[in-house]
C-alpha cells in the first residue's frame, strides 16, 4: 500500500470489509493507486480549504460534520467521594446494549455505507469496551431505582478527559439527564485530576450541541467527514 492510504484494521475487521483512511491529501493520486473494493474515509477541518478542494476533486461524498466542544473544569465544582455506584460493570452490558439500539441515528456510520444494524452493533461494542476498560476508562451510569436511565463513557489522558459516548434511555429523555451526566463526568474528572473535558458530536445533532453549549462547553473545532467507495 502506498503512502496515501492506511488501513483501519479494527474497523475493517469489525465491519468485515476493507476500510482505509486517506492520509495524504494530494491531487496526484492516480486511478491505480486507490485500493479496490474498499471504503475510503477522510476528514478535513472546516478551515482547510485546500484539502476540501482536493477531496471534491477525488469525488468523495459528504457524510457528516463534526463539532468538538471543550470545557475547562472549575475548581469550584464538587467532586464525589466515591463513584462505585456509578461505574457500570459486566452485568450492565446487556441493559446498555438495549439502550444504545436506535439511539445514535445522527452518526457517520449511516446508510448507504453502513446499515442501521451495523451502526447499532458498532456503538454497542463501544459501550461494552468502555465497561471492560478496553478503550475508554469506564462507563458511568445514572440509575432510576434499578434501571439505567443514562450513561457516559470517559477516557482520561494527560489531564484531558474525552467523552466517548453519552446517552439517555428513551423513557427518561427530556428530563434533564444530559445535564446530570455532564455534571457526573465533571466530578469524575476532578477526582482523577483532569482539568479539561472534550467531547465531539455531529453537526446534525442539534440537541447535543445545545446541551454542551448550555453547560459551559465551547466549540474548539469543526471538521467534515467524507467517504468514497472504490
Say what the pLDDT of residue 136 is.
96
Kindly indicate the confidence band of residue 199, based on its pLDDT and cuts at 50, 70 and 90: very high
- The predicted-structure confidence for 125-146, as pLDDT tens digits, reads as follows 999 999 999 999 999 999 999 9
Domain around 99: 71-222
90 to 10, 131, 132, 153: CA distances (angstroms): 22, 7, 7, 14
- 155 and 53, same structural domain? no
Please provide residue 221's backbone torsions phi and psi, each rounded to the nearest 5 degrees.
-160, 150
The answer to whether position 227 is within a domain reads no
CATH of the domain at 180: 3.40.630.30
Number of domains comprising the chain: 2
- 128 and 179, same structural domain? yes
The answer to whether position 211 is within a domain reads yes
Omega before 112 cis (within 30°)?
Answer: yes
User: Could you tell me the three cell numbers for 202?
Assistant: 455531529
The answer to whether position 64 is within a domain reads no
- 201 and 145, same structural domain? yes
- 185 and 98, same structural domain? yes
**Collapsed DSSP state (helix, strand, coil) of residue 5:** strand
The answer to whether position 163 is within a domain reads yes
pTM over the 0.85 mark: yes
CB 77 within 8 A of CB 190: yes
The answer to whether position 190 is within a domain reads yes
- 138 and 40, same structural domain? no
- The predicted-structure confidence for 47-103, as pLDDT tens digits, reads as follows 999 999 999 999 999 999 999 999 999 866 566 667 888 999 999 999 999 999 999
CB 99 within 8 A of CB 169: yes
- 217 and 105, same structural domain? yes
Q: Residue 1 pLDDT > 60, yes or no?
A: no
- 107 and 55, same structural domain? no
Amino acid at each position: 500500500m502506498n503512502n496515501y492510504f492506511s488501513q483501519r484494521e479494527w474497523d475493517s475487521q469489525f465491519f468485515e470489509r476493507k476500510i482505509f483512511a486517506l492520509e495524504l491529501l494530494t491531487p496526484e493520486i492516480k486511478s491505480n493507486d486507490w485500493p479496490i473494493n474498499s471504503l475510503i474515509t477522510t476528514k478535513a477541518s472546516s478551515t482547510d480549504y485546500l484539502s476540501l478542494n482536493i477531496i471534491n476533486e477525488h469525488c468523495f461524498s459528504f457524510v457528516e460534520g463534526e463539532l468538538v466542544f471543550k470545557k475547562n473544569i472549575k475548581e469550584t465544582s464538587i467532586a464525589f467521594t466515591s463513584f462505585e455506584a456509578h461505574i457500570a460493570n459486566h452485568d450492565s452490558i446487556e441493559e446498555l446494549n438495549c439502550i444504545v439500539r436506535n439511539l445514535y441515528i445522527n452518526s457517520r456510520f449511516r446508510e448507504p455505507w453502513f446499515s442501521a444494524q451495523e451502526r447499532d452493533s458498532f456503538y454497542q461494542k463501544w459501550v461494552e469496551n468502555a465497561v471492560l476498560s478496553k478503550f475508554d476508562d469506564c462507563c458511568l451510569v445514572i440509575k432510576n431505582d434499578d434501571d439505567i436511565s443514562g450513561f457516559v463513557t470517559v477516557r482520561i489522558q494527560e489531564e484531558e478527559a474525552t467523552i466517548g459516548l453519552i446517552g439517555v434511555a428513551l423513557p427518561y429523555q427530556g428530563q434533564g439527564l444530559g445535564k446530570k451526566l455532564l455534571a457526573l463526568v465533571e466530578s469524575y474528572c476532578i477526582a482523577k485530576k483532569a482539568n479539561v473535558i472534550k467531547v465531539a458530536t455531529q453537526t446534525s445533532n442539534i440537541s447535543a450541541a445545545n446541551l454542551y453549549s448550555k453547560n459551559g462547553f465551547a466549540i474548539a473545532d469543526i471538521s467534515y467527514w467524507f467517504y468514497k467507495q472504490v
